[in-house]
Structure 1
Amino acid sequence: MLLKDSKVAIIGAGPVGLTMARLLQQHHIDVTVYERDKDPQARIWGGTLDLHKDTGQKAMKKAGLLDAYYDIAVPMGITVTDEKAKPLFTKAITDENRYDNPEINRNNLRTLLLGSLWEHTVVWDRKCTDVKVSDGQWQILFENGTQASADFVIGANGGMSGIRKYITDTAIEETGTMILQGDLPQPEIQYPELYRLCNGNRLMAAHEGNLLVINPNNNGNLAYGVIFKIPDKTEYNFQGEESIRQFLLERFSNWGELYQQLFQLTSSFRSLPTRKLPLSKPWKTSRPLPVTLIGDAAHLMPPFAGQGVNTGLMDALILSENLTCGKYESIQAAVNDYEQQMFIYASEAQRASSENEIEMRHPDFSFRQLIG
């Protein structure tokens, strides 16, 4: 086996990095995951994730976790309204589609994956600042002054990964879209009218280039995202929660009172300009030691086709199979084949996401166009 006597380091304990660790440990490979979060209880911001049957769920099945995912994840229908909160269309959950892409809270998915790993696999409070070659190994440097060594490094630490310099000089690009995320705890108590309107479904509304997507069941919170094209970047230098709230109330002033109240009741916001790492030119083939990227570190893309985490889980599935199948003569050969495959399917995922992004920002866009 290629990795029989090798130490593997995975940088990043997101769903892709943890799944990669699980798939390698099934073959008794020595793998350690280094994560910047202080501990496993650190909250992960963002909406729920939905793992698709033909990508993310395949990786979970290989990891022996698909049934556990189904036990935790929540099948969700879709309700589309106009800007005044008048329902226009509903796509219900049926026996036939309930397992297509059920939604799971990010923190719950992390807990599931952590529980599948050997004890002490993840080392917390380790923000990677650099990797260097020394004495025939990778030396991994962390912000807190500690170091670690490995024979093979897999970067799974997101779109701003510093490991990427050994692999590509391609720069991250902003796509021109802003997402403002908000959370409302105990929505059935704090905002029962909107909670009832959702009726367990994701709720979506679009009007004149402004989009609102609401998930009423994100581990006890109602989580939502507001999406719009950025006409002038200098216009959006938000200073705290209140500045975001006032911006939303003004931008959505012609929307219904139900949505206005949502912004007024929200206590915490997060702004997120969308970015992309184009797969427009080949990666470097000359590397000092085996190293590669998976997940957002490899192919960051906007979330408008639901492909990001699913593409990353396909990375973990294909790379782990290449490293353990006995077909390749070296780690780098297994990595090269994975990267060649990844460029094809990840480029297609990026293309689909970009097409949806352009379509969604059009003033006449309706969510029914995407739902069918």
Structure 2
Amino acid sequence: MLLQNKKIAIIGAGPVGLTMAKLLQQQDIDVTVYERDTDPQARIRGGTLDLHKNSGQEAMKKAGLLENYYKMAIPMGVTFADEKGKVLSIKPITSENQYDNPEINRNNLRKVLLENLPANTVIWDRKCIDLAVSDGKWKLIFENGTHATADLIIGANGGMSKIRKFVTDTEVEDTGTIIIQGDIPQPEINCPEFYQLCRGNRLMAAYLGNLIVVNPDNNGSLTYGVIFKKPDNWQNDTLQNPDHIRDILLNRFKLWDSLYKQLFQSTHSFWSLPTRIFPLGKPWKTDRPLPITLIGDSAHMMPPFAGQGVNTGLMDALILSECLTNRVHQSLHAAISDYEKRMFKYASEAQQESSVNEKEMRHPDFSFQQLIL
């Protein structure tokens, strides 16, 4: 086996990195995950994840965790509403579609994965800031002054990975869309009218280039994302102050029903990042000093407008683990090359779908129904 007596380092303990570790450990491979979070209790902010049947769920199945996912995930329909707070239509959950892509809280998915890995698999408080080659091995350099070594490095540490430079010179690009996210705990108490409008489903509404996507049950909180094209005059510090963010949203939604305005007024926790893409148009480096590759957002960060990000990343873990362990390839270089060739194809298609959806969604006449139904 290619990885016999080899030490594998995965950088990043997100869903993709942890799934990769699980798949390798099933083959008795020595793998360690290095994570910048200080401990397993660190809360990951953001909306829920939905794993698709033909991609993310396939990786969970191979890892023996599909039933664990189903137990923690919530099948959710979609409530389509207009800017007046009127329900236009509902896409319900049925016995036929309930397992297609149920929603799971990011922290709960991490918990599922961590509980199924040996306790010493993840080393916490290890933010990798650089790599070096030493005595024929990779030397991982961490922000806290510690070091580690490995024969193979798998970068799974997100879209702004600092180790990507060892694999490619391609730069991340801003797509021109802003997503402002809000979080309201105990929504049945803190925003009861809007909570009722959702009817237990994800809620989607769009009007004149402003869009909102709501999940009323994200581990006991209501979370939402407001999507719009980034104004030309915005600076990087525009979205730093919660009161300022709330004012921006109230102004953008001034023509909407008071239900939406009450939602923003009930929100005390906002966060936002511009949407970015790491394009795959340029081939990756072939002169890497030692075996190294990328999976997940590190490899192909994309806008979240097709629900493909985590699913594509989990496909990476599934395919890379197979390439490394199926005894077909004669070298680590060949195994990695096979994975990357296949990944470039399906990840590029996912990026294209996400980008097309993004452009459609920013159009003033856009309707969620035309995209989903």
TM over 0.5: yes
Q: Which residue of 1 aligns with 2:352?
A: 351
Q: Compute the displacement of 1:234 (Å).
A: 2.5
Q: Compute the displacement of 1:190 (Å).
A: 1.2
Q: Deviations over 1:147-174 (max 9, x none)?
A: 1100000000001111111111000000
Q: Which residue of 1 aligns with 2:256?
A: 255
C-alpha distance in 1, partners of 2:202/2:245?
23
Cα RMSD after superposing both structures: 0.8
Q: Compute the displacement of 1:233 (Å).
A: 4.7
Q: Which residue of 1 aligns with 2:227?
A: 227
Q: Compute the displacement of 1:251 (Å).
A: 1.1
C-alpha distance in 2, partners of 1:35/1:212?
32
- The size of the alignment, in residue pairs, is 372
Q: Compute the displacement of 1:296 (Å).
A: 0.2
C-alpha distance in 1, partners of 2:240/2:286?
43
TM-score norm. by structure 1 comes to: 0.99
Q: Compute the displacement of 1:235 (Å).
A: 5.2
Q: Compute the displacement of 1:175 (Å).
A: 0.1
Q: Which residue of 2 aligns with 1:243?
A: 244
C-alpha distance in 2, partners of 1:110/1:367?
30
Q: Which residue of 2 aligns with 1:39?
A: 39
Q: Deviations over 1:157-215 (max 9, x none)?
A: 00111111111100000000000000000001111111111111000000000000000
TM-score norm. by structure 2 comes to: 0.99
C-alpha distance in 1, partners of 2:108/2:300?
24
Pairing of 1:153-164 with structure 2 (within 5 A): 153-164=153-164
**Letter in structure 2 aligned against 1:253:** K
Unpaired segments ≥5 residues, structure 2: none
Q: Deviations over 1:84-142 (max 9, x none)?
A: 11000110000000000000000000000001111210000111100111111000001
SS at match of 1:319: helix
Q: Compute the displacement of 1:28 (Å).
A: 0.6
C-alpha distance in 2, partners of 1:269/1:79?
23
C-alpha distance in 1, partners of 2:368/2:164?
36
C-alpha distance in 2, partners of 1:144/1:244?
34
C-alpha distance in 1, partners of 2:210/2:83?
9
Q: Which residue of 2 aligns with 1:174?
A: 174
Q: Deviations over 1:302-352 (max 9, x none)?
A: 000000000000000000011111111111110000000000000000000
SS at match of 1:239: coil
C-alpha distance in 2, partners of 1:38/1:65?
25
Q: Which residue of 1 aligns with 2:142?
A: 142
Pairing of 1:63-82 with structure 2 (within 5 A): 63-82=63-82
**Letter in structure 1 aligned against 2:263:** L
Q: Which residue of 2 aligns with 1:24?
A: 24
Q: Deviations over 1:32-85 (max 9, x none)?
A: 000001110101011000000000000000000001101110000000110111
With over 3 angstroms needed to count, the CA separation of the structure-2 counterparts of 1:63 and 1:241, relative to structure 1, is: same
Q: Compute the displacement of 1:357 (Å).
A: 0.1
1:103 aligns to 2:103 (yes or no): yes
Unpaired segments ≥5 residues, structure 1: none
**Letter in structure 2 aligned against 1:266:** T
SS at match of 1:162: coil
C-alpha distance in 2, partners of 1:28/1:316?
16
1:323 aligns to 2:336 (yes or no): no
C-alpha distance in 2, partners of 1:235/1:292?
34
Q: Compute the displacement of 1:231 (Å).
A: 2.5
Q: Compute the displacement of 1:238 (Å).
A: 2.3
Q: Deviations over 1:261-301 (max 9, x none)?
A: 00001010001100000001111111100000000000000
Moved segments of 4+, more than 3 Å: none
C-alpha distance in 2, partners of 1:239/1:78?
31
With over 3 angstroms needed to count, the CA separation of the structure-2 counterparts of 1:130 and 1:241, relative to structure 1, is: same
